[in-house]
A and B are shown apart, each in its own frame.
Chain A
Amino acid sequence: MLGQIAYALPFLAQGFAVTLWVSLLVVVLSLVAGVMMGVGLVYGPAPLRWAVRIFSDTIRGIPILVLIFFVYYGLPAVGLHLESFWAAVLALTLFKTAQVIEYLRGAVGSIPKGQSEAAMAIGLTFRQRLAYVIFPQAFRRFLPPWINGVTDAVKGSALVSLLGITDLMHAINQVIGRTYEAMPLYILGAVIYFAVNYALSLASRRLERRFSFIRE
């Protein structure tokens, strides 16, 4: 049994690399998209605010699995052909973007209005106000939930296995298909996911403590 599992380790490692790659792509892409749309939600004109609000509430209101299937099966039907890998990344990114929008809204919303007004009073442009006044302060509110959300991205990435992408989850199922050693492999998989996510949540707690004081 252990021999079979040891034999499968390189294969699992490949799957694990895909899991990390998918998670990394999703985290980075959703950070960029989410921050931009979040700024749109807080500062944009009414139509943009409504659009972002509807996007976020819709995405957050449906199961991530439905979103993945919708993107994967639905896009080719309307003539857009994406490789399954990119369809999965797109779906997970849409989901994560909606979360990032809400983290950003919460973080920016926690900054007293006076800060913005003072920045305006000394003649800073919108971009300067964000870059030098709002974002540096909002950052410490944004960081802890965002890093917690990174563990969600790693966990969510396991769903891409359903599209036949050989991530860690899929690799585990394939090895089980050959060896019939279900329990040891699922436990091994759980331990690997746990190690990554627990490390991330410890980091998040540490950062939260690090940024929990207010620098005057």
Chain B
Amino acid sequence: MGYTLNFNLIWRHFDKLWGGLLLSLELAVISIAIGILIGLLLAVWYVSAGRAVRAVIAAYVEFIRNVPLILLVYLVFYGLPTVVDIAYSAQTSFIATLSLYSGAYLVEVFRSGLEAVPRGQLDAGKAIGLTPWQRLVHVRLPTMLRITLPALSNTFLSLFKDTSVASVISVPELTYGAQWINFNTFRIVEVYLVVTAMYLLTGYALLYALRLVERRFRAAH
């Protein structure tokens, strides 16, 4: 064994990890926000659309779900700018990738959620004279969101972990910070122990908070 733990160098560079953790959270929050928009739009469109549109949406969902995230990250950051004339930072590119990625998972979540809204609620909405738009906004979506909340928080937690992949295009999030300290101080075991603890504490704190939110919304009805 012959390895003595020494955390001094980790604490000296802790700003790299702390800043990284905040950036990881930021990436996850922005991506899920955009992902929710994508997911909602496509799910609502899917359930009311014809066969062609459905096929296109299904193709998007299946494509994203069956390709490794790291490949998508490379494709958007290194591949896309070679064929279309756009320039973006690694961070923007990663947010775009993770948004499209979470969007694909959320289309599925929302679609099954929409289908799980009881028929009677929609009929009741119709009976009191709501327009189709009002039925969607005031009846179908709120109920659907309540149904899908647990799946939504699980998606957010796994996105938070997926932000580690941003390190491969040098976005300075938590895993990148860990590697930086790893390569510059060689306190390998220490840095990964600290980073593991940071991911775990943050992840489980988020889980706890999200479960509270879920309970609050379940109790409301």
Q: Which residues of A approach B to under 8 Å, CB–CB?
A: 58, 61-66, 69-70, 73-74, 77-79, 151, 154-159, 161-162, 169, 172-173, 176, 182-183, 185-187, 189-190, 193-194, 197-198, 201
Is B145's CB within 8 Å of the partner chain A? no
**Could you say which of A62, A161, A194 contacts B161, with CB atoms under 8 Å apart?**
A62
Do A58 and B67 touch (CB < 8 A)?
Answer: no
**Could you say which of B65, B82, B196, B204 contacts A70, with CB atoms under 8 Å apart?**
B196
Do B63 and A194 touch (CB < 8 A)?
Answer: yes
Q: Given A73-B188, A183-B82, decide whether A155 and B68 contact each other with a Cβ distance below 8 A.
A: yes
Q: Given A58-B196, A62-B200, A65-B167, decide whether A155 and B69 contact each other with a Cβ distance below 8 A.
A: yes
Do B161 and A74 touch (CB < 8 A)?
Answer: no
Do A63 and B164 touch (CB < 8 A)?
Answer: yes
> From residue A61, how far is it (CB to closest CB) to chain B in Å?
5
Is B165's CB within 8 Å of the partner chain A? yes
Q: Is the interface of A mostly helix, strand, loop or mixed?
A: helix
Q: Given A183-B80, A186-B75, A198-B66, decide whether A73 and B182 contact each other with a Cβ distance below 8 A.
A: yes
A-B pairs with beta carbons under 8 A, tally:
113
| Chain B contact residue count (CB 8 A cutoff) | 40
Do B78 and A65 touch (CB < 8 A)?
Answer: no
CA separation between A65 and B192, bound complex, in Å?
Answer: 11
Would you list the 8 A-B pairs with minimal beta carbon distance, nearest first?
Answer: A63-B164, A158-B68, A197-B66, A70-B192, A186-B75, A155-B68, A63-B161, A183-B79
Do A66 and B178 touch (CB < 8 A)?
Answer: yes
Do B71 and A186 touch (CB < 8 A)?
Answer: yes
Chain B residues in 8 Å Cβ range of A62: 161, 196, 199-200, 203
Chain A residues in 8 Å Cβ range of B133: none
**Could you say which of B74, B168, B188, B203 contacts A77, with CB atoms under 8 Å apart?**
B188
Is B83's CB within 8 Å of the partner chain A? yes
Do B75 and A77 touch (CB < 8 A)?
Answer: no
Some 16 contacts from A to B, beta carbons below 8 A apart, are A58-B196, A61-B204, A62-B200, A63-B164, A63-B199, A65-B164, A65-B175, A66-B178, A73-B188, A155-B67, A159-B68, A169-B71, A173-B74, A183-B80, A186-B75, A186-B79
Do B200 and A193 touch (CB < 8 A)?
Answer: no
Chain A residues in 8 Å Cβ range of B178: 66, 69
> From residue A139, how far is it (CB to closest CB) to chain B in Å?
25
Q: Smallest CB-CB separation from A201: which chain B residue?
A: B66
Chain A residues in 8 Å Cβ range of B65: 197, 201
Q: Given A66-B175, A176-B78, A183-B79, decide whether A78 and B68 contact each other with a Cβ distance below 8 A.
A: no
Chain A residues in 8 Å Cβ range of B62: 194, 198
Do B67 and A197 touch (CB < 8 A)?
Answer: yes
Bitwise, B156-177 to A at CB < 8 A (1) or not (0) is: 0000011111011000000100
CA separation between A151 and B202, bound complex, in Å?
Answer: 27
> From residue B181, how far is it (CB to closest CB) to chain A in Å?
11
Is B86's CB within 8 Å of the partner chain A? no
Q: Smallest CB-CB separation from B196: which chain A residue?
A: A62
Do B66 and A194 touch (CB < 8 A)?
Answer: yes
Chain B residues in 8 Å Cβ range of A157: 68
Chain A residues in 8 Å Cβ range of B75: 183, 186-187, 190
Do B192 and A66 touch (CB < 8 A)?
Answer: yes
> From residue B39, how far is it (CB to closest CB) to chain A in Å?
19
CA separation between A79 and B1, bound complex, in Å?
Answer: 5
CA separation between A162 and B69, bound complex, in Å?
Answer: 13
**Could you say which of B74, B165, B188, B199 contacts A74, with CB atoms under 8 Å apart?**
B188
Chain B residues in 8 Å Cβ range of A172: 71
Bitwise, B51-91 to A at CB < 8 A (1) or not (0) is: 00000000000110111111110110011101100000000
Q: Smallest CB-CB separation from B83: which chain A residue?
A: A183
Chain B residues in 8 Å Cβ range of A78: 1, 3, 189
Do A169 and B68 touch (CB < 8 A)?
Answer: yes
